[in-house]
Amino acid sequence: MPLRTLCLHGPESTGKSTLGLALAQHFGAELVSEYGRDWCAEHGAETSMADLVAIAETHGAQIEAARARAIAAGQSWLILDTDPVMTAVWAQMLYGKQDAALAARGPVADLYLVPDIDLPWVADGLRYLGAPDERARFLALSVAELEARGLPYALIRGDGEARLASALEAVDQYISV
């Protein structure tokens, strides 16, 4: 079976990282962490458009390295906690536009799982778009970006095990198509 890639995509504080860990464990897959979060932990949460382009480039390189490892190991799945497509959405959210380098980055996942904003927002020192209207706008931009690029996605709902079950059901539906 060829390598399939799942990407968690959407606003902050929707359980993407937790869901990514659960999916990686379920599928026995490598999880590529969210590089933008790592970058912000080191440099601060304020980013410029140039920072976002650099984040997308580094994240893309990390994904390609993980993809090569997964293929070499004969793995069936690779799980991404966001990807450069999500970085493009961040640019849209923060600056109302995307740098051409972000808009041109190709898709890297077979299926995008978009966790809904049905979990409470949690402040952690890096997240800062927690107002209900900001979360709704961020979710709408996330979905719009996937639709504009013609990428397959599923909205994931629920808390804890229900959220994982929702994600697994979406994966099952994608595989059966």
pLDDT per residue of the chain (177 residues) written in tens, 0 to 9 = 799 999 999 999 999 999 999 999 999 999 999 999 899 889 988 899 999 999 999 999 999 999 999 999 999 999 999 999 999 999 999 999 999 998 887 768 999 999 999 998 887 766 677 789 999 999 999 999 999 999 999 999 999 999 999 999 999 999 987
Query: What's the pTM value of the predicted model, to 2 decimals?
Result: 0.94
Q: Print the domain residue range for 80.
A: 4-176
* Per-residue pLDDT, 126: 65
* Per-residue pLDDT, 128: 73
* CATH code assigned at 121: 3.40.50.300
* Per-residue pLDDT, 121: 84
* Per-residue pLDDT, 177: 74
DSSP letters spanning the chain: ---EEEEE-SSSSSSHHHHHHHHHHHHT-EEE--HHHHHHHHH-S---HHHHHHHHHHHHHHHHHHHHHHHHTT-SEEEEE--HHHHHHHHHHHHSS--HHHHTPPP--SEEEEE-S-SPP---SS----SHHHHHHHHHHHHHHHHHHT--EEEE--STHHHHHHHHHHHHHHHH-
Number of domains making up the chain = 1
Q: How far apart are CA 168 and CA 173, in angstroms?
A: 9
